[in-house]
């Protein structure tokens, strides 16, 4: 989990940004350490119940598909993510990560 300001600075300045209709993702290779993931779900998405639901869904998806080592990833959810099911979010995130070489 990303928590240090240096993690965020590194991903925003050196990572590549990729967007879909429901999320924006910053990706940076990190071959020396375990994969690090950060999440952002703003108040534009909805109330705290909706934001926490989206955050839990994203965390679960990342646990299922992300390799243990080699990546720094930051996921920012867009308001349109609220209308998507777990499976739709899963396939959208998986497609973005596959296209950008995170998943094989």
pLDDT tens per residue, range 31-68: 777 888 899 999 999 999 999 999 999 999 999 998 77
Q: Has residue 103 been placed in a domain?
A: no
pLDDT at position 40 is: 93
Average pLDDT over residues 18-30: 92
41, 83, 17, 35 alpha-carbon torsion, rounded to 10°? 60
Which helix (DSSP H) or strand (DSSP E) does residue 41 occupy?
strand 36-41
Q: How many domains does the chain have?
A: 1
* CATH code for the domain of 37: 3.30.230.10
Q: Report how far residue 46's alpha carbon sits from residue 18's, in angstroms, rounded to the nearest whole number.
A: 23
Establish if 101 belongs to a structural domain. no
Instruction: Kindly give the pairing relationship between strand 36-41 and strand 69-77.
Output: parallel
State the residue range of the domain holding 34.
Answer: 5-95
Has residue 104 been placed in a domain? no
Query: Is 100 a domain residue?
Result: no
Does residue 79 form part of some domain? Answer: yes
Q: How confident is the model at residue 20 (pLDDT cuts 50, 70, 90)?
A: very high
The least confident of 7-21, 50-64, 73-87 is 7-21
Q: Is residue 76 part of a domain?
A: yes
Asked, for residue 102, whether it belongs to a domain, the answer is no
């Amino acid at each position: 989990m990303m928590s240090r300001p240096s993690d965020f600075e590194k991903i925003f300045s050196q990572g590549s940004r990729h967007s879909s209709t429901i999320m924006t993702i910053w990706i940076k290779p990190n071959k020396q350490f375990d994969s690090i993931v950060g999440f952002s779900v703003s108040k534009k998405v909805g109330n705290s119940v909706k934001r926490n639901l989206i955050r839990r869904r994203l965390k679960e998806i990342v646990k299922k598909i992300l390799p243990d080592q080699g990546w720094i990833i930051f996921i920012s959810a867009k308001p349109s993510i609220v209308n998507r099911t777990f499976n739709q979010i899963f396939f959208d995130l998986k497609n973005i990560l596959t296209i950008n070489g995170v998943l094989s």
